[in-house]
Amino acid sequence: MKTDEEGNVYLNGRGAQLNTSNKFLKNSLSQEHIEGIDDWEISNEKTSFIYSSAKSIVNKVESPDVGMMYSLNPYQGCEHGCIYCYARNSHEYWGFSAGLDFERKIIVKQDAPELFKKFIEKKGWPAYPISLSGNTDCYQPCERKYKLTRQMLEIALAYKQPISLITKNSLILRDLDILQEMAKYKLVFAFVSITSLNEDLRQKLEPRTTTAKQRLKVIEQLSLADVPMGVMAAPMIPSLNDYEIPAILKASANAGAISAGYTVVRLNGVIHQIFEDWLRKNFPDRFDKVWHQIQDCHGGNVNDSRFGTRMRGEGNFSEMINTTFKLHCRLNNLNIKKIELNSSLFKKPQAQLNLF
């Protein structure tokens, strides 16, 4: 912990600095401690792990903006603590806050591998690609212990089920053996998210993620193993990291990325409060400029829920970001080759798969 000049307590190692109220609850929750990991712990309250059993694990994606038809999330909440994360709001459905609770009360869907297997065994399943993870990072630190993502990749390989991945954690290299084998059959495409090459900014934006340097190594090592790789420069935040697009794309292409994407930050739901509090504490001298430029990207608001504009924004700043992105994709030969995953090999394996 540290204290600023006004006496406000600041939590080192955490993105959010407060717990926002949960609109679904009439009364606030007591903060119970549940023993968990971890060697990442910096602040006083330890990360908690809550085990959950679900009826289903694969979700149909209705949004036309995200480029996926189905997604799967083995964890709810994320230890990475990214301050801008749109998934924070979903933590309220579980009875927690989208603020600090989101990054220190992690729901572990321990039956995820079994539910995944049951889903793809449904009669008539056309083996559409399934994305890990559309919500929270499937390689966040607790995956080291629970290995849910690895188990599901083992199932995907056995059934020849195509999978796309996005992560900002180098733990994905643990599963290089499976990913390399899946790549032989065109069953996998992986993205690494890089928000900033500036280590000081990265630590503020994403306090528990791996460094950008390490993420570039992930792209390089997986590319050398013939796993097709992309980079997601997201989110771009005006006057904080938007100027880094050229450097991020160049470094990623040099490391082996063949595809790239980006989003413009949008502060949906209570993320408005969480991000505003974070921005005032970390960049008080730039607060007004950054805040007003985010508003400029969303028609005077800090959020836009409309399909087609919510991820890219509109207006002058959004257009400049878009133009810069397209230019440097061309300069670095990104998005030239289209990657299509192979669904034609899908079949149930002859031998019964032992999940555990």
* Predicted local confidence at residue 303, as pLDDT: 87
CATH of 35-331, one of 3.40.50.12280, 3.80.30.30, 3.40.630.40, 3.30.420.40: 3.80.30.30
Number of H helices, E strands in the chain: 11, 12
Domain boundaries, the chain: 35-331
Reported as a single tens digit per residue, the pLDDT across 326-355 is 999 999 999 999 889 999 999 998 766 565
Cα–Cα distances in angstroms (integers) from residue 154 to residues 52, 116, 223, in the given order: 22, 11, 20
Q: Mean pLDDT highest for which of 17-21, 69-73, 146-150?
A: 146-150
How would DSSP label each residue in 285-300? TTHHHHHHHHHHHTTT
- What is the reported pTM? 0.86
Q: What is the pLDDT of residue 355?
A: 55
What's the token pair of residue 258?
């063949």
Q: What is the pLDDT of residues 102-116, one digit of tens each?
A: 999 999 999 999 999
